[in-house]
Chain A
Amino acid sequence: MNFELDEDILFLKKNVRDFIQTEVEAVAMQIEEENHIPERVINLSKEMGLFGLSIPEEYGGLGIDMVGKCALYEEIGQTHNGYTTLIGAHTGIGTVGIVEMGNEQQKRKYLPDMANGEKIGAFALTEPAAGSNAANLKTTAVRKGDKYIINGLKHYITNATEASVFTVMAATDPEKGSKGITSFIVEKDFPGFQVGAVEKKMGLRGSHSAECIFEDCEVPVENVLGVEGQGYVNALKILTNGRAGLASRNLGSCLKLLDMSTRYARERIQFGKPIIRNQAVSHMLAEMAVEIEALRSFTYRVAWMVDQGMKVIKEAAMLKLYGSEVYNRVADKAVQIHGGLGYIADYPIERFFRDARITRIYEGTSEIQKNIIAGQLEKEYN
């Protein structure tokens, strides 16, 4: 057993850290106030190659394995979560479908521009009537000659306003339910496609989630992603393998919060001594540290399993659940340790507290993860 990252990955990680800590942290407050990520930081991130971190080398990406990706996400998670989400959704659910299910022609066509950030990716599954019950989607795709005609409405789609390439799930055979869904690569300029209302959210400012409207949207047959009728399975695969990535971004945010909380508790004097000298405070820090360490081990273990090609349905669901819940507990304690300051918007703690909340909801709610885990457990005893 070996718990060490290899040297190349450590070197990449250090460089990502330097970049995130100098360039992105410097504008974190600005992102929050303006609900916008400055172009300069986006351009620098493109030059860094961050948009290509999940794309194979032959298509212009970095070509590293899941463990390596998690090591970098851990650094990207240590700053404003709006920025983290832009990169995370693009390099995760936004590109992974094409990387894993795309044919050679589709990969050649889309991945190089996605790797250099020229084209941003998004993943459109959720609809008003199909959230947790994603198979209930109402968007349809009807074949007409060498095209599919898509009609329907997706909502809450992250990166929709920035994206040029969407992985879209639609029903090609509504009778068949989850087995009648197909995934498509839709470009923002395809006729009949439009981005609708942008949501106002509790957090993740700078990242935008919006409606995607399909009105007789024409998609060429060659843009079917994978096999017709396999769209639901594709979506689950994309989400499953993305879970280690999401957990490592949560891990990064947790590490940042522990760092800020420990420093603060050592410096903040009340009753004539640093507040860390009170067991009530020091035990909160200890609990944070333990959960973070457990999350770290679990994250890299699942990433390693993905790299071995092992089946991770249950473990990935456990990790999604655990990582999100830990992030929320850590954020809550961080607010508590900072006292009034933890509630004040001049300081980043309350922002992390709000941003943490979404992780229990998107990419499958905590309850849905428990359903998956229990379902898998039950199967194991069949």
Chain B
Amino acid sequence: MNIYVLMKRTFDTEEKIALSGGKINEDGAEFIINPYDEYAIEEAIQVRDANGGEVTVISVGNEETEKQLRTALAMGADKAVLINIEDEIENGDQFTTAKILAEYLKDKDADLIIGGNVAIDNASGQVGPRVAELLTIPYVTTITKLEIDGTNVTVTRDVEGDAEVIETSLPLLVTAQQGLNEPRYPSLPGIMKAKKKPLEELELDDLDLEEEDVEAKTKTIEIYLPPKKEAGRVLTGDLNEQVQELVQLLHTEAKVI
């Protein structure tokens, strides 16, 4: 089976994030594999181990992304592909990424493509579905279970806490939700072996793409941190009055009802 994983390098949102000059300050930030993509990598490895085949992890990123790709190889992926757009594209968006990935994948005869449900940085959840649309293959998002029998696939997907079971077939793109599996730690011998696994580096040119072909469809106007949480307010007095006051505040101050 020919399996591809879409992987993004993101900053660790559990670490402190600082802005400078209207951008997220990357100095001193910790970078990781997008956690949802870790589920994708783990699932791909399990599917390969059960069905045979090969796992290739692809990332659209910059030179630094090699670290995360090496980690994926150390976990057990067979090959990695880095599409380095650092020099050509300053402000890409989900369209940019999806277009590049689809261009790379279009002649690869992928049986199964697995991505993360969202990336924890921009959290659009669009890249997976967009790639599937461009490749004109079916897709299922936020999956928590994947069963493959020949070319028949049964997928369980998380719908806001409920489970929906979908029957479909390969070729297929799915995006991983938390709960799909427990990603393994890259083993130490795996890390040593990963050094010898192929990691291909491509640029837009290699995909016959021009900068205009992948120009972002959106524009970021401003980036700001969420407002600091302010101290709560304690209402006092008779319970009836408190309720009245609360309802009024929800109308006039919080403007939520």
Contact = CB atoms under 8 A, between A and B. Distances in A.
Contacts of A52: 188-189
User: On chain B, which size bracket covers the interface?
Assistant: 10 to 19
B195 A8 contact: yes
A16 B189 CA distance: 12
Contact of B190 (A16, A19, A49): A49
A11 to B, nearest CB: 6
A12 interface: yes
Nearest to B190: A49
Interface stretch (B96-104, B179-187, B214-222): B179-187
A48 to B, nearest CB: 5
Contacts of A57: 189, 192
Interface string A282-315: 0000000000000000000000000000000000
A12 to B, nearest CB: 6
A12 B188 contact: yes
Contact of B192 (A19, A23, A62): A62
Nearest to B74: A15
A16 B187 CA distance: 9
A44 B71 CA distance: 17
Contacts of B185: 15, 18-19, 23, 44, 47-48
A49 B195 contact: no
Interface in B178-231: 184-192, 195
A44 B187 CA distance: 9
Contacts of B186: 15
B195 A62 contact: no
A196 interface: no
A49 B189 contact: yes
Nearest to B71: A15
Contacts of A53: 188
B70 interface: yes
B184 A12 contact: no
A66 interface: no
Nearest to A60: B189
A228 B23 CA distance: 69
A23 B71 CA distance: 18
Nearest to A19: B185
A330 B141 CA distance: 52
A63 B193 CA distance: 11
Contacts of B70: 11
26 contacts: A8-B191, A8-B192, A8-B195, A11-B67, A11-B70, A12-B188, A15-B71, A15-B185, A15-B186, A15-B191, A18-B185, A19-B185, A23-B185, A47-B184, A47-B185, A48-B187, A48-B188, A49-B188, A49-B190, A50-B188, A52-B188, A53-B188, A57-B189, A60-B189, A62-B192, A72-B188
Q: Which 10 A-B residue pairings sit nearest by Cβ, starting from the closest?
A: A49-B188, A49-B187, A49-B189, A62-B188, A19-B185, A48-B187, A48-B185, A12-B191, A12-B188, A15-B186
Interface of A: 8, 11-12, 15-16, 18-19, 23, 44, 47-50, 52-53, 57, 60-63, 72
